[in-house]
Structure 1
Amino acid sequence: MQTTKMLVLAMACAAIRFSDIAAQEPAGREAGAEDTVKIAQVALRRGLDWLKSAQRPDGSWSDTNFPALTALGLWAFARSDHPARQEVCSKAAEFVALYAQPDGGIYKPATAGRGSGGLSVYNTAVCMTALHAWDPAKYRALILKAREFMAGSQLVGDSPGAGGFGYEPPRPRADEARRLMERGDLSNTAWAMRAMRETQNAEDYREGAGKVDIDWAATIRFIEKLQNRDADDPENFGSFGYEPGGERGGTAQGKDGKVTLRGYGSMTYAALEAMIFAQLTREDPRVRSALEWASRHWSVDENPGMGLKGLFYYYNTMSKALTVAGADALTPPDGRTVPWKEQLVRKIAALQKPDGSWVNEDNQFWEGNPALVTSYAALALEYILGR
Structure 2
Amino acid sequence: MRILGIVLAAALALPAPSSALRASAGKQEKKESELRKKLNAAHTGAADWLSSQQGADGAWKQGPPGREQPSVAFTALAVTAFARAPKELRAKVQPAIDRGASFIVSKRNEDGSFGEGPRGAFLKTYTTALAVMALSVTDREKFADPIRGGQAYLKQNQLKEGVDRGGSGYGDEEPTKEGTKKTIANLSTTGFTAEAMESSGLPKDDEFWKLVIEFVRRCQNNSETNTDREFVEKLKAAGLSVGDDGGLYYAPSPDRKIHKAGTVKVIDKEVVQSYGSMTYHGIKTYLFAGLAKDSPEVKAAIDWVRKNYSVEAHPGFPFDASKRNHLRGLFYYYYVMARAMDAIGERPFRTFDGKEHDWPVELAGQLLKTMKDGKMWVNENPAWWEDNPLLVTCYVLNTLDLLMKHVE
TM-score range, shorter chain: 0.7 to 0.9
Contact 2:123–2:172, Cα closer than 8 Å, also in 1: no
Spell out, residue by residue over 1:47-81, the C-alpha distance to the aligned partner (whole angstroms, 9 max, x if none).
11111122122111122453111111001111123
C-alpha contact (below 8 Å) 1:147/1:196 kept by paired residues: yes
57 and 246 in structure 1: CA distance in 2 versus 1, 3 angstrom threshold: farther
Could you say if the C-alpha distance between residues 37 and 236 of structure 1 is closer, same or farther in structure 2, counting changes exceeding 3 Å?
A: farther
Normalising to structure 2: TM-score of the pair? 0.78
Whole-angstrom distance in 2 between the partners of 1:95 and 1:117: 19
Query: For the residues of structure 1 that align with 2:107 and 2:139, how far apart are their CA atoms?
Result: 17
Q: Cα RMSD between the aligned structures? A: 2.7
Normalized per residue, the structure richer in strand is 2
Structure 1's consecutive aligned runs of 4 or more residues displaced over 6 angstroms after TM superposition are none
Q: Does residue 1:275 correspond to 2:279, yes or no?
A: no
Alignment of 1:227-376 (within 5 A): 227-229=220-222, 237-247=245-255, 248-250=258-260, 251-306=262-317, 307-376=326-395
Alpha carbons 2:221, 2:246 under 8 Å: kept: yes
The 8 Å contact of residues 230 and 237 in structure 1, kept in 2 or not, is answered as: no
- Counterpart in the other structure of 1:35: 34
Q: CA deviation at 1:344?
A: 0.3
Q: Indicate which of 102, 106, 128 corresponds to 2:110.
A: 102
SS in structure 2 of the partner of residue 386 of structure 1: helix
Tell me how far apart the structure 2 counterparts of residues 279 and 37 of structure 1 sit (CA, whole Å).
Answer: 32
Cα 1:175–1:145, aligned 2, differ >3 Å: closer, same or farther? farther
CA contact (8 A) 2:121 2:172 kept: no
Counterpart of 1:328 in 2: which secondary structure?
coil
**Corresponding residue to 1:74 among 63, 79, 85:** 79
Q: 2 CA distance for matches of 1:27 and 1:293? A: 35
Is the CA contact (8 Å cut-off) linking 1:240 and 1:267 kept in structure 2? Answer: yes
Change (3 A) 1:178 1:152: farther
The structural deviation recorded for 1:132 is 1.3
| Compared CA separation, residues 154 and 178, structure 1 to 2 (3 A) | farther
- The alignment covers a number of residue pairs equal to 344
| Equivalent of 1:179 in 177, 181, 185 | 181
For 2:135, the equivalent position in structure 1 comes to 131
**Compared with structure 1, are the counterparts of its residues 122 and 239 closer, same or farther at alpha carbon in structure 2 (3 Å cutoff)?**
same
Shift of 1:110: 7.6
User: What is the DSSP-based 3-state SS (H/G/I as helix, E as strand, rest coil) of the residue aligned with 1:46?
Assistant: helix
Q: Matched residue of 1:254: which SS?
A: strand
Is the CA contact 2:121–2:173 (under 8 Å) kept in the aligned structure 1?
no
- Following superposition, the deviation at residue 236 of structure 1 comes to 6.3
1:41 to 1:236, Cα distance in 2 relative to 1, 3 A: farther
Instruction: Specify every segment of 5 or more residues in structure 2 that has no aligned partner in the other structure, as ranges.
Output: 1-22, 63-68, 225-240, 318-325
Amino acid of the residue matched to residue 151 of structure 2?
R
Distance 2:196 2:54 in 1: 24
In structure 1, distance between residues paired with 2:314 and 2:179 = 29
- C-alpha distance in structure 1 between counterparts of 2:177 and 2:156, whole Å: 19
SS across alignment from 1:260 = strand
Corresponding position of 1:208: none
Q: Using a 3 Å threshold, how does the CA distance of structure 1 residues 353 and 257 change in structure 2: closer, same or farther?
A: same
Secondary structure (helix, strand or coil) at the match of 2:401 reads helix
Give 1:378's aligned residue: 397
* 1:263-297 Cα distance to aligned partner (Å, 9 max, x none): 10000001111011001111112111211211211
| SS of residue matched to 1:35 | helix
What is the match of residue 161 of structure 1? Answer: 164
Offset of residue 214 of structure 1: 4.8
CA contact (8 A) 1:269 1:318 kept: yes
Any conservation in 2 of the 1:315–1:380 contact (CA below 8 Å)?
yes
Bigger RCO of structures 1 and 2 (CA < 8 A, at least 6 apart): 1
User: Could you list the runs of 5+ residues in structure 1 that have no partner in the other structure?
Assistant: 1-25, 204-210
- Give the residue type in structure 1 aligned to 2:370: L
Is the CA contact (8 Å cut-off) linking 2:59 and 2:70 kept in structure 1? no
Partner in structure 2 of residue 143 of structure 1:
147
Deviations 1:359-382 (A, max 9, x none): 112221111111111111011111
**Matched letter for residue 249 of structure 1:** H
CA displacement at 1:249 relative to structure 2: 1.9
Alpha-carbon distance, 1:327 to partner? 2.1
Letter in 1 for 2:371: Q
1:183 match: secondary structure: coil
**Separation of aligned partners in 2, 1:217 and 1:334:** 35
Q: Which TM-score applies when normalising by structure 1?
A: 0.82
Matched letter for residue 170 of structure 2: Y
Separation in 1, partners of 2:205, 2:297: 27
One-letter amino acid matched to 2:50: L
Deviations 1:308-353 (A, max 9, x none): 1111110000000110121222222221101111110000111111
> Over residues 134-182 of structure 1, what are the superposed CA-to-partner deviations in whole Å (9 max), with x where a residue is unaligned?
122222111111111001001112x1111111111479xx9975435x1
Q: Residues 212 and 54 (structure 1 numbering): CA distance in 2 closer, same or farther, change over 3 Å?
A: farther
